[in-house]
């Protein structure tokens, strides 16, 4: 019961991921906000970058959010002119992250994980 209570207290449910805030020193949101992990008792959801955070998990219920994000980025990339090469590269990297998350969700669905 104590272990379950500790786990449940660390779980933060989000639209795009589950955040398992078990180790503040591994929280990417805190690092991005230059916060020390010592005084952190909760994640900074507004700074969440779950595709790169080791404490995030993505599940079938999150798939639509990631698919929509990927489609939006594809549309933006297609509309960017040649002069904005760096912006195009930044969006392409973000799109690759979205695709990695989608692939992981799909792989987990196939294996029943």
Total residues in contact with ligand SF4, by rule CB under 6 A: 14
CB 27 within 8 A of CB 53: yes
In angstroms, the CA 25 to CA 28 distance is 8
Cβ neighbours for 24, distance < 8 A, ≥ 6 positions apart:
30, 37, 38, 40, 41
Choose, by CB under 6 A, the member of 16, 51, 56, 105 that binds ligand SF4.
56
Q: Give least dist CB 20 to ligand SF4, A.
A: 7
Q: Give least dist CB 18 to ligand SF4, A.
A: 8
**Which residues of the shown chain bind ligand SF4 in the complex (CB under 6 A)?**
17, 19, 21, 27-29, 43, 45, 48-50, 53, 55-56
């Amino acid at each position: 019961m104590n272990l379950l209570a500790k786990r449940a207290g660390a779980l933060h449910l989000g639209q795009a991921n589950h955040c398992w805030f078990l180790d503040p020193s591994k929280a990417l949101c805190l690092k991005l906000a230059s916060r020390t992990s010592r005084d952190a008792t909760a994640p900074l959801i507004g700074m969440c970058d779950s595709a790169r955070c080791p404490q995030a998990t993505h599940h079938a219920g999150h798939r639509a959010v990631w698919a929509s994000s990927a489609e939006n980025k594809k549309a933006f990339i297609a509309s960017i002119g040649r002069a904005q090469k760096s912006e195009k590269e930044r969006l392409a990297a973000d799109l690759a992250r979205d695709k990695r998350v989608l692939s992981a969700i799909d792989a987990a669905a196939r294996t029943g994980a």
